[in-house]
Chain A
């Protein structure tokens, strides 16, 4: 059983000026290969061995289909429409809005084999597919289903698949959203329930398709039973290094009550620790994920952070074949020596000096 964690991801904040949907923690790929990912907000937490992951697409007008690939730490057991105000409530907790500007209506909307399809579902205008496979398999599935991945996708997919072969592909049909009457700014939250013991928040995926100098901006909220240890250690760097510990405190009773009252959020415990990490860095600097140890042991995994390779670079030979090869090599060395001794013993020339 892998270590449990809970996470939520929610809708992109801000009023959208461009005609694209947005989402948290995924690479968003337009039909021309362009990536249209604005500032994202993610909320992650752990409780009772289950991760709850909520991400949201916000309809911003326009037309066409868009897709997203989101790495997941493990196989979700449930994918459903998320609650309506979780993320927005968290934002208000750590960044109280100017009441004059606060919009209440924002709360309302809220060749190789392909990868194996584990689950398919539709939520509003989103077609959600949970996939299992290596980087090549997931990439091929995406290509064959109309996703146009950017050139860095093969390496990034391998980066994640080495640690967890589970991905969520989300296809957003803006035309379908318009037909459903979704207004600009309406969000479609998706709630995934994921039993896992491998807590990490994917950050590198946010840089997918971006030029090196482009900025990755994201707010990551964590809700854990205790104060979590993280890697990289947010707050250890200067702001220019791009990972900032913006909030770390016991969650207020009011926040927990509000979260618990949202759809599908009954799992929220009565006591928890709220952490907010802000990512603000050039794309080429975001080559890591956020590993979390919420057990109190204080040892977030370097592998989960993407710092250490999942597989040893030069694994020691452990297969029987390797042993056979060693045995053959030994025979190749020993047999000629033995034959030489036999030959000498049978009347061959005596050793020199004899």
Chain B
């Protein structure tokens, strides 16, 4: 009897774990290609509280940036003097003809812009939006 109960408890726990695992949002990967100084995706929808790995493929022979944040963040970077980025997940330099990736978990719903802030690149159209689901 005791053994039967123990088995039942284990099975129940396994079941709960399976259900919980099945309900947990899976991490996702988004690939953004940069060609002729343009992002191939300019509107991307992602869920909230899920790690999203952005694979940034620079097909150009010049460097680009992928900086994502709110308007105050972008205003700082428009006038910033950083030669390159890399230590912070939402501030990435993508060297010429290279691929880099970064993982970000968005906790707040709403749109977030990503922009290349190298001189002239934003005006050239290197702007996109991540739409974070509620």
Closest to B99 in A: A111
**Which parts of A81-122 form the interface with B (CB within 8 Å)?**
111-112
Is A139 an interface residue, CB under 8 A from the partner? yes
CB-based contact A112/B61 at 8 Å: yes
CB-based contact A33/B97 at 8 Å: no
Q: Could you tell me the distance between the alpha carbons of A136 and B97 in the complex, rounded to whole angstroms?
A: 8
List 22 A-B residue pairs with CB atoms under 8 Å apart, sorted by A's residue number. Answer: A33-B119, A34-B119, A111-B95, A112-B97, A135-B61, A136-B60, A139-B61, A139-B62, A140-B97, A143-B62, A143-B63, A143-B96, A151-B62, A151-B124, A154-B36, A154-B37, A154-B61, A154-B62, A155-B37, A157-B61, A158-B36, A209-B120
Is A127 an interface residue, CB under 8 A from the partner? no
CB-based contact B118/A33 at 8 Å: yes
**Which parts of A167-206 form the interface with B (CB within 8 Å)?**
none
> What B residues does A209 contact at CB under 8 A?
120
Q: Could you tell me the distance between the alpha carbons of A216 and B62 in the complex, rounded to whole angstroms?
A: 24
Q: Could you tell me the distance between the alpha carbons of A139 and B60 in the complex, rounded to whole angstroms?
A: 8
Chain B residues with a Cβ closer than 8 Å to the other chain, count: 19
> Among A32, A111, A135, A140, which residue has its beta carbon within 8 angstroms of that of B119?
A32
Q: Could you tell me the distance between the alpha carbons of A239 and B63 in the complex, rounded to whole angstroms?
A: 38
> What A residues does B97 contact at CB under 8 A?
111-112, 136, 140
Shortest A266–chain B CB gap in Å is 39
CB-based contact A151/B120 at 8 Å: yes
Q: Which of B35, B37, B123 has the most CB of A within 10 A?
A: B37
Q: Could you tell me the distance between the alpha carbons of A112 and B60 in the complex, rounded to whole angstroms?
A: 10
> What A residues does B35 contact at CB under 8 A?
154
**Which parts of B94-132 form the interface with A (CB within 8 Å)?**
95-98, 116, 118-121, 123-124, 126
Is A314 an interface residue, CB under 8 A from the partner? no
CB-based contact A137/B61 at 8 Å: yes
Q: Could you tell me the distance between the alpha carbons of A140 and B96 in the complex, rounded to whole angstroms?
A: 7
CB-based contact A151/B61 at 8 Å: no
> What B residues does A253 contact at CB under 8 A?
none
Q: Could you tell me the distance between the alpha carbons of A137 and B96 in the complex, rounded to whole angstroms?
A: 11
> What A residues does B120 contact at CB under 8 A?
33-34, 150-151, 209
Is A149 an interface residue, CB under 8 A from the partner? yes
Q: Could you tell me the distance between the alpha carbons of A157 and B36 in the complex, rounded to whole angstroms?
A: 10
Closest to A209 in B: B120
Given known pairs A136-B61, A138-B61, the reply for A151 and B96 (CB within 8 Å) is: no
Q: Could you tell me the distance between the alpha carbons of A154 and B62 in the complex, rounded to whole angstroms?
A: 7
Shortest B93–chain A CB gap in Å is 13
> What A residues does B61 contact at CB under 8 A?
112, 135-140, 142-143, 149, 153-154, 157
> What B residues does A148 contact at CB under 8 A?
119
> What A residues does B37 contact at CB under 8 A?
151-152, 154-155
Shortest A221–chain B CB gap in Å is 31
